[in-house]
Structure 1
Amino acid sequence: MAMWIQAQQLQGEALHQMQALYGQHFPIEVRHYLAQWIENQPWDSVELDNPAEEAKAKRLLDNLVAELQRKAQLQSGEDGFLLKIKLGHYANQLKSTYDRCPLELVRCIKHILHSEQRLVQEATNASSGSEGQTMDSLSQRHQQINQAFEELRLATQETENELRKLQHSQEYFIIQYQENLRIQVNPGPFHQLPTERTQRETTLQSKRTTVEAWLAREASTLQKYRLDLSAQHQKTLGLLRKQQTLILDEELIQWKRRQQLAGNGGPHEGGLDVLQSWCEKLADLIWQNRQQIRRCEHLTQQLPLPGPMEELLSKLNSDITDIISALVTSTFIIEKQPPQVLKTQTKFAATVRLLVGGKLNVHMNPPQVKAVIVSEQQAKALLKNESTHSESSGEILNNNCVMEYHQTTGTLSAHFRNMSLKRIKRSDRRGAESVTEEKFTVLFESQFSVAGNELVFHVKTLSLPVVVIVHGSQDNNATATVLWDNAFAEPGRVPFVVPDKVLWPQLCEALDMKYKAEMHSGRGLSEDNLVFLAQKAFTSSSSNPEDYHNMTMSWAQFNRESLPGRNFTFWQWFDGVVELMKKHLKPHWNDGAILGFVNKQQAQDMLMSKPNGTFLLRFSDSEIGGITIAWRLVWNLLPYTTKDFSIRSLADRISDLNHLLFLYPDRPKDEVFAKYYTPPLCMYQAKAVDGYVKPQIKQVVPEFTTPNPEPSGGTPTFMDQTASPSVTHPSNFGVYPSMNDTMLDADGDFDLEDTMDVARHVEELLRRPMANQWSSQQS
């Protein structure tokens, strides 16, 4: 309800805009009496483009109707009687309007709530500015745009007033001109005496002279009015161009840039509704001025006068037509981009929108939009106007869609829900370029007319670059191409030129954006993490971040050339880490349990000063998408990958290893991981109906399944089959057996890669007599 309270305090134009949100489609009384209930509902959780969400929308509609009916029943008294009838009527009205299209109700309410929030925020920013507080740059730009619109509104109103004056003056001039003609052809009655006739002729001649002098002066005045009005229109057109440049070449371009960065995990692009409101205001003002110029042309044709008016008006008409053409063609945009890694034979979706469609009444004859896929070279030719027809580099199924007008939001858009790329035609590759470096784009085009076919527009827009793949194994390299393009593309570039080298800090920003987005948290890559990545990328040992600030990384270093001594690239290693974390380890990263970006030597140095039983988690240097446990004596276990975690989780594996006691630097492991342990099965759960006992998987390190120190009077037990020792007893730190030198590699690291695979080792152990262990587990 807080939003509604603030919305009611809006004033002036903001209040008018807020009131305009409501009508028969959603009465303002419903918003008022159900304010708190409406603001508490999960409207944003409904995906409007997903037909499967219709059931959720239907529940929201039914709940809204029920809440209205309940509110109506609570009314009493004389005043309450009328309100009871009104609320009941609104309940029935909403039910009948949206029962067959509940998603439209959700679309309507989401639009209302978002618009109210915007209006309140703008009013708050303006208020704080008037009190002397510093507004951010966004608010300042918005205020500048709104002030310019007010200036344009006043200028347009002024030219309208002047045009009316001109019209009235011209009409009076024509009447006087007709009167002068009547005087000239009507000398008086024929039967008049000569004296009377002479006297009358003298009077008429005097009157004729006076009228002609007035006509001459008035004609000169009319011409001046016309020239002044033309000059005013010229000034208004200059203001319109300036405002349109600010909105289309700055605000809309910035929105498109945010949309592109969102493909790398940047903040979701917002503000499209604000942009549409600006574009609609522009369209309205441009159209008003165009109509004024056309009326002025009509007046000039009605009463031709010597002078340059015809040429001036023709130039004005041409200029304003160019302005409106630029507005319409620039506001045909892609609201929802197709996937940038596009797999053949796979369904995908996209949405295009005409921001000024509602104002120009384009929906009265809904245009059809066609989608085709084109190559980079074809895209260049289209932008240079070297190609007028849409050559295609492939075949897209279900690539035609009619634009729909949503009255509740005032948007005109086409939703392509079931497109599929059937085939693709590739061009000849250059040098070392692979198929996952080749860029295509989806071209959307349409044609429509306004003002009774007076103006016809052929509009086109290109999607962000897409990389076409035919197999999931190509996804990793295709994603690299997309990330590089999204991060380093410049506005207005020739398709799809990107720099071959970038500064390391720029690449760090892109990697951090991607990582944070995949983790769905604010914990991204720290400065230490980025230093580790720099050391890997540049084969450097420097730990000083400043040493890398002026270094550049090329595309070849990023994802074409393998890292020294490895068979994978820098990006392939990093992307493997991202995929592993996203699928299996996201909670642990967000808990701060995974250091990750630490090399073997760093891990060893960090653990050397810690008690036995301290361990840390680091990403494998030698395996894509691998993570290893490092602890004293056994420095690095064979890395775990996605395949391992699909069998048993990281938390359960850590729980299985009883010698792991503290997560670096000194956090008890159960404190960190216990909430993720899989609860043990009770006897009832373990036994199936047919009497079989369900086995459980448990991780062991075979070389360390040696007896722990025997309890007094007890039977020897095995390390990985006992309960985890209490982390409060330092005496447990000394329970490690002595290491066999043959188990260590040249660097003193425990290297399971040189030993038997864990699974094979377990299989071998199971063939041995293990009476003690089995008796221990059965007890």
Structure 2
Amino acid sequence: MSQWKQVQQLEMRLLEQVDYLYDDNFPMDIRQGLAGWIESQDWDSAVNDESMASVLFTNLQTQLEKVRSQEQNFLQRHNMKIIQQQLQVTASPALFLVLHLRACRREKEVKSSSCSLEQGALEQSLQNSVAFERQKNMDNRVSIIRNSVQLMDQAVKNIEDMQDDFDFCYKTLQSRESADRTSEMIKQGITRLQEMLNRLDFKRKEILSKMDVVIKEIDDLMTSQLRPELQDWKRRQQIAAIGGPLLTGLEQLQSWFTLTAQSLFQIKRQLDKLGELVVKVTYESDPIPLQKPQMEERVKYLIYHLIKSSFVVEKQPCMPTHPQKPLIIKTGVQFTTKVRLLVKLPEVDYQLKVKTTFDKDLPAGRVSRQFFILTNNTKVMDIEDYSNGCLSVEFRHLQLKEKKYTNGTKGNEGLLSVTEELHSLSFEACFTVQGLAVDLETCSLPLVVISNVSQLPGGWASVMWYNLLTDEPRNLGFFGNPPRASWSQLSEVLSWQFSTFAGRGLNKEQLDMLGEKLLGQHASCGDYQVSWSKFAKENIPGKPFSFWMWLDSILELIKKHLLPVWNENFIMGFVSKEMERALLKDREPGTFLLRFSESHLGGITFTWVEHSDTGDVKFNSVEPYTKNRLSALPFADIIRDYKVISNGGVPENPLKFLYPDIPKDEAFGRLYNSQPSKVYPYIPSTLIPISELRSEASSTPRSCPSPEPPMTPGEFDMLSEHLCFDIDTMSSPYSE
């Protein structure tokens, strides 16, 4: 069974998670219509091959046209035509590839989470159970309130019928001619009217008492459950923004908000109806004039605050070019954001316009740079079918421009760096519903504004630190005195980065290695507090870069050049040089491991072990491969074709076993690039990574034979021609 069919069989709460994976850049219609074809393609191999990505993208468009031509449903065929046009205009092979891989990997995560006990995540299972019970309790309370309000509707109707009967009897008694108005008849009529009035008074007091109980129940529901649920969703939105679990629950929140609002609007109509009844029939100590005004004010207050709190940022500001790094905006680059009203409103008299403002009411001197929105900042909210009739609006083409100052300065120079300055995007709207004026306002999470892509890593560090450590929506002075993070908190976020950007998170051993890199002897203490400066600003001792810059460069290297090898779990990663030697020294000759360079930004190296006849151990490390070198050759092919020129002058591949003891070809065979099966008039050449062993590094001193004389230029040229390798790819074993 295909993965897509398995996903479609998940329960509704998990399907809601899948829904968030697809948007206009990667519509779900493509996933549905081409499920079999998509899952049969080698998308992973195309990550490092632009030409292959282009071919796959072109083939996808061909497949989509084929499916569209065979589609019998006119509406579906029309929708697919629009999707094809959008792909041709807006999409690129690289962007589509990233979105596709992200969606499919997240699909697997959602599918796997359908049975958390199979993953051994007992704690998560218990949390899910608690959340389910909380949701069930909320559903029950909302349902009980709705039923109570429906019953009150019938009670108000009964009171109206009783009042009509009383009014009829009263007027009938009044209209009798004087000849028919005997004292006994009048007495009986008055007695009957008094009994009817007593019952009417009892029913009026009863309905007002029930209304009071329901209003108090709604008030308590909003305070004790609905507001905390909304805050919990906003907190989970923060965590999802920095790579945490997928954000779900908005549809459920919307249902609770809408049902609660409907109950309040219905009570307001019931109170209005009671007010109409008082105009027709009232009496001394009538409870409606005494209690109705206060109850109306309470209902209006609850409606106002319910609607006001339901105005939320559904999608935080994000540049389409960096979908996995929201809340970072580059000047001059378009970004998107979306707001939604969680309450389905009765008909509004006019179009609801939302205006967005940058850094609204920002205190003077808070930031050194100021910006304004260059493009149209006002849009009208629309009703979305999938949101059950709720209003939303998406700003797709917002763009920032920095303000210029007439005196040539750039404003107040603060103590914070560009990537530590936090900004905010505000949204405002005003409308009237059923005579009640509501001012809506909400704001995005704090934003980092950059002017150059080189500031992106620093900006992302700020976004991670903020959203990890605070749930305040607008603490723009956060980095004036940033709090510390415990290593247990920080390590989880770092693992999320690898899961989001590289497809696989970090295991405990890798996190321990990272902790040792950052904390040294404190690495084993999960509660050890890490400062913001140590994480992102201070240089690693002896290195010209910070811990985060080093780690971010590794993430970029994996994403662009090492994904297949990383996802096979072949890269040990963060092992130190000392640990590396301890692991290899007792292994078979030719055993090697892959680790990230500690001295280069974005570099990967491999080290292999050799044993001499005398029992001495020798370790060889190759100069790190960076993105520039890996652009020429896939890393798996480098492992396959790597050669060294030993003292005998014969090139040979020293790499035999991937640590601990996996034969090299068994491990990497599936990742090798196969040679094209075409006939050429020339002998095909092969680019071979090659090293020359110039010295020996042994763990114990020993006598060394005299090295053979170096090759002459002529001999070297002949060997080069024979091996067909490019001298620019030569690397040398070295020690970091």
For normalisation by structure 2, the TM-score amounts to 0.72
Separation in 1, partners of 2:144, 2:62: 47
Residues 436-472 of structure 1, C-alpha deviation per residue, up to 9 Å, x if partnerless? 0111122122223334xx2232212211221000001
Query: Greater CA deviation, 340-349 or 642-651?
Result: 642-651
Q: Structure 2 matches for 1:517-556, cutoff 5 A? A: 517-521=500-504, 524-540=505-521, 547-556=524-533
CA RMSD of aligned residues (A): 4.3
Partner of 2:307: 328
Residue number among 678, 681, 687 corresponding to 1:697 in the alignment: 687
Q: Structure 2 matches for 1:680-759, cutoff 5 A? A: 680=675, 684-685=679-680, 687=682, 696-703=686-693, 739=695
Partner of 1:671: 666
Q: Radius of gyration: which is bigger? A: 1
Separation in 1, partners of 2:586, 2:678: 43
Contact 1:375–1:440, Cα closer than 8 Å, also in 2 = no
Return the structure number with greater relative CO, CA threshold 8 A, min gap 6: 2
SS at match of 2:588: coil
SS at match of 2:424: strand
In the alignment, residue 700 of structure 1 is paired with which amino acid?
I
Residue 588 (structure 1) shift? 1.2
Residue number among 474, 491, 494 corresponding to 1:508 in the alignment: 491
Residue 277 (structure 1) shift? 2.4
- 1:418 and 2:397 correspond: yes
Contact 1:342–1:469, Cα closer than 8 Å, also in 2 = yes
Separation in 1, partners of 2:253, 2:64: 27
In the alignment, residue 251 of structure 2 is paired with which amino acid?
D
Partner of 1:284: 262
Structure 1 pair 321/497, CA: closer, same or farther in 2 (3 Å)? farther
Q: Structure 2 matches for 1:172-211, cutoff 5 A? A: 172-183=165-176, 186-188=177-179, 203-211=181-189
Residue number among 348, 351, 354 corresponding to 1:369 in the alignment: 354
Residues 671-713 of structure 1, C-alpha deviation per residue, up to 9 Å, x if partnerless? 22233333446784585xxxxx876432211336xxxxxxxxx
In the alignment, residue 419 of structure 1 is paired with which amino acid?
L
In the alignment, residue 550 of structure 2 is paired with which amino acid?
W
- 1:628 and 2:625 correspond: no
In the alignment, residue 172 of structure 1 is paired with which amino acid?
D
Residue number among 413, 421, 424 corresponding to 1:441 in the alignment: 424
Separation in 2, partners of 1:447, 1:353: 14
Consecutive unaligned residues of structure 1, counting only runs of 5 or more, are: 15-37, 46-51, 67-90, 104-113, 122-132, 189-199, 382-391, 688-692, 705-738, 749-763
Partner of 1:640: 625
Structure 1 pair 463/696, CA: closer, same or farther in 2 (3 Å)? same
In the alignment, residue 424 of structure 2 is paired with which amino acid?
T
In the alignment, residue 342 of structure 1 is paired with which amino acid?
I
Equivalent pairs counted in the alignment come to 604
Contact 1:534–1:548, Cα closer than 8 Å, also in 2 = no
Contact 2:264–2:303, Cα closer than 8 Å, also in 1 = yes
Separation in 1, partners of 2:332, 2:380: 23
Contact 2:571–2:593, Cα closer than 8 Å, also in 1 = yes
Partner of 1:309: 288
Query: Greater CA deviation, 466-475 or 485-494?
Result: 485-494
Partner of 1:72: none
Contact 2:535–2:546, Cα closer than 8 Å, also in 1 = yes
SS at match of 1:548: coil
- 1:250 and 2:228 correspond: yes
Separation in 1, partners of 2:255, 2:278: 35
In the alignment, residue 465 of structure 2 is paired with which amino acid?
W
Partner of 1:345: 332
SS at match of 2:294: helix
Separation in 2, partners of 1:333, 1:530: 36
Residue 408 (structure 1) shift? 5.7
Separation in 2, partners of 1:323, 1:56: 53
Residue number among 188, 203, 207 corresponding to 1:225 in the alignment: 203
Separation in 2, partners of 1:54, 1:420: 31
Structure 1 pair 419/57, CA: closer, same or farther in 2 (3 Å)? farther
In the alignment, residue 417 of structure 1 is paired with which amino acid?
R
Structure 1 pair 254/54, CA: closer, same or farther in 2 (3 Å)? farther
Residue 505 (structure 1) shift? 0.8
Consecutive unaligned residues of structure 2, counting only runs of 5 or more, are: 13-30, 39-57, 85-106, 115-125, 319-326, 405-409, 610-617, 644-652, 702-709, 726-736
Residue 63 (structure 1) shift? 4.6
- 1:478 and 2:459 correspond: yes
In the alignment, residue 631 of structure 2 is paired with which amino acid?
S
Q: Structure 2 matches for 1:581-660, cutoff 5 A? A: 581-632=558-609, 633-655=618-640, 656-657=642-643, 658-660=653-655
Contact 1:223–1:305, Cα closer than 8 Å, also in 2 = no
Residue 767 (structure 1) shift? 5.3
SS at match of 1:350: strand
Residue 325 (structure 1) shift? 1.6
Residue 421 (structure 1) shift? 1.5
SS at match of 2:620: coil
In the alignment, residue 636 of structure 1 is paired with which amino acid?
S
Residue 213 (structure 1) shift? 4.4
Partner of 2:26: none
Structure 1 pair 497/295, CA: closer, same or farther in 2 (3 Å)? farther
Separation in 1, partners of 2:238, 2:127: 30
Separation in 2, partners of 1:318, 1:394: 40
Residue 602 (structure 1) shift? 0.7
Contact 1:614–1:663, Cα closer than 8 Å, also in 2 = yes
Separation in 2, partners of 1:58, 1:205: 93
Residue 284 (structure 1) shift? 2.0
Contact 1:376–1:439, Cα closer than 8 Å, also in 2 = no
Separation in 2, partners of 1:225, 1:401: 49
In the alignment, residue 441 of structure 2 is paired with which amino acid?
K
- 1:240 and 2:218 correspond: yes
Residues 497-555 of structure 1, C-alpha deviation per residue, up to 9 Å, x if partnerless? 4851122111111111222222223xx22222222222222233x7xx6x412311111
In the alignment, residue 553 of structure 2 is paired with which amino acid?
G
Structure 1 pair 379/601, CA: closer, same or farther in 2 (3 Å)? same
The percentage of counterpart residues that share the same residue type is: 27
Separation in 2, partners of 1:210, 1:294: 34
Partner of 2:542: 565
Structure 1 pair 661/43, CA: closer, same or farther in 2 (3 Å)? closer
Contact 1:440–1:467, Cα closer than 8 Å, also in 2 = yes
